Amino acid sequence: MSVSLQMLGTGNAFAKNYFNNNGLLLDEDYTLLIDCGLTAPLAMHELGISMKDINATLITHIHADHVGGLEELALTLKSKYGYKMTLLVPELLLEPLWDHTLQGGLYQKETVTSLKDLFNVIALKPGVAYKLSSSLTLELIPTLHIPGKDSYSLLLNSEVFYSADMIFQPGLLLSLVKERGVRKILHDCQLTGTGHVHTTLEELLSLPEEVRSMIQLMHYSDEKPDFVGRTGEMEFLEQHVIYEL
């Protein structure tokens, strides 16, 4: 597997030191942006990455730290390059992404009335393996986050699980490892408090050692330095570092 991952940010929605938890999947001839939160355009600017260098953007769920940068992305590509990027969206998120999130800032009478006026939109179904490039396939896995709102995590090349924001689902994690052969888990981690809408560090530490050894932590708070050395076998993903998957 020649795919690598570079996190534009590794912080949660309220982190001030780590940017939003958005990442770039890098293949030799293909770059996929996983979520485009409020800080994604600034993160790409700091790394010297042009928005036009991104082949497609994938949205996992509709929260500002995952979609808040889409307006800037769309307007920059339209005004500066005259270019429509491919936008990969779970089919159940298509309507709320436009109606509840982007329409207020992007709507222009008769010229911009839907997502398709700004992006080449591809609707994705969960449970289907989509081949995005020569070395990258992706499958949506529905996961639980906010009651009543759809959210999806990702299975990359059938062996790497990338969680979006999700509550603790140990049964899912164990089945992915034991039944589907997952060998690496990139998981959001709430360092303190009770996990009402996110998975906590305490919950992840309750997993079997063989599973913990596969986990790297992301989507953490600014308290992260206080927890270095306190996460068992699990290590923190760091922003801007390129990781081979």
Where residue 98 sits, what CATH number does that domain have?
3.60.15.10
164 pLDDT more than 60? yes
pTM for this predicted structure: 0.97
Between β-strands 152-156 and 136-142, what pairing exists: parallel, antiparallel or unpaired?
Answer: antiparallel
Over residues 231-245, the mean pLDDT reads 97
Q: Which of 46, 45, 72 is nearest to 57 (CA)?
A: 72
29 pLDDT more than 60? yes
Phi-psi region of 160 (alpha: psi -120 to 50; beta: other; left: phi over 0): beta
Number of domains in the chain: 1
Q: What's the domain range around 191?
A: 4-244
**193-206: per-residue pLDDT in tens?**
999 999 999 999 99
